[in-house]
Amino acid sequence: MEGYKSFLFFLVCSLLLGFVAVIFSLVWVLHYREGLGWDGGAAEFNWHPVLITTGFIFIQGIAIIVYRLPWTWKCSKLLMKCIHAGLHLTALVLAIVALVAVFDFHNAKNIPNMYSLHSWVGLTVVILFSLQLVLGILVFLLPFASANLRAALMPIHAYSGLLIFGTVIATALMGITEKLIFALKDPAYSKLPPEAIFVNTLGVLIFVFGALVIWMTTQPAWKRPPEQNLKTLRPEGGTPEGTEDGSTDYSNTEKSDVELNSEAARKRNLKLDDAGQRATM
């Protein structure tokens, strides 16, 4: 992999930041707030920031970069797709539980639902995320879609995935803003008590985690190389795995594993895959 050390640096930093963000969300609700519970009270609401940070931000971020991990490039594309989809599904389940927690809390306390910009964008992004997941499974995981359809939809899938991820982060920052204004009364948010500094820092951690994930995902040199030994990988009656990169070059599909794993072959393949790179980010 070109720039392997640089990739490792970004990977470690992003995983560390994401992990610390999850810890921060836990410390926030357990130390500064009312803890966790499922009683219609504040402790139930508190699942919302914890599950969003854990699932919709950290796990979604990992799901996005999972193809880029060079030590997975020997695994079949199908396996990696299952991991990619599985992590996204986990993120979705946690996000839905996070939504249930907040609706439940609002209903128990007679607080209106769906009035804030945070809720408008947040619910929209959960719906879009679900659609993205269902369409992704139908088109890219199951063996029904044609190579042309996959190639045509891949740039949209990649872009909308990153857009959804960025939107989740923007929504989290709005949520933090909202919660700190409502929750901090004495001293107020504007007095910048320790909780305000702590949770603002959580927002910054989430933001930088997102920026690193998007950087790693948009570096073409760190992209998983296209599949070569299609016969052993593609499901019966399925389409060549490599085509959803947008590439239409099949001349290179019979290379041996030995050559596939050599650095010279990697560089040659990268050039051949350039047409494919054009269609993705």
Nearer to a copy of itself, 29 or 212 (CB): 212
Q: Counting contacts by CB under 8 A, is residue 170 touching a copy of itself?
A: yes
Q: At closest approach, how far in Å is the CB of 113 from a copy of itself?
A: 9
Q: Which residue has the tokens 């951690």?
A: 205
The answer to whether 21 contacts a copy of itself (rule: CB under 8 A) is no
Count residues binding a copy of itself (CB under 8 A).
Answer: 48
CB atoms within 10 A of CB 175: 20
Binding flags for a copy of itself, 252-271, as an x/- string (CB under 8 A): ------------------xx
The answer to the question of residue 5 lying near a copy of itself (CB under 8 A) is no
Query: Interface with a copy of itself by CB under 8 A: which range of 4-12, 140-148, 219-227, 229-237?
Result: 219-227
8, 12, 108, 181: residue in contact with a copy of itself (rule CB under 8 A): 181
Smallest gap from residue 180 Cβ to a copy of itself (A):
7
Is 190 one of the binding residues for a copy of itself (CB under 8 A)?
A: yes
Residue from 177, 229, 252, 253 binding a copy of itself (CB under 8 A): 177
Closest to a copy of itself by CB, 175 vs 234, is: 175
111 interacts with a copy of itself by CB under 8 A: yes
| Interacting residue ranges for a copy of itself, rule: CB under 8 A | 111-112, 115-118, 120-121, 155, 159, 163, 166-167, 169-170, 173-174, 176-178, 180-182, 189-192, 196, 199-200, 203-204, 207, 211, 214-215, 218-221, 270-271, 274-275, 277-279, 281
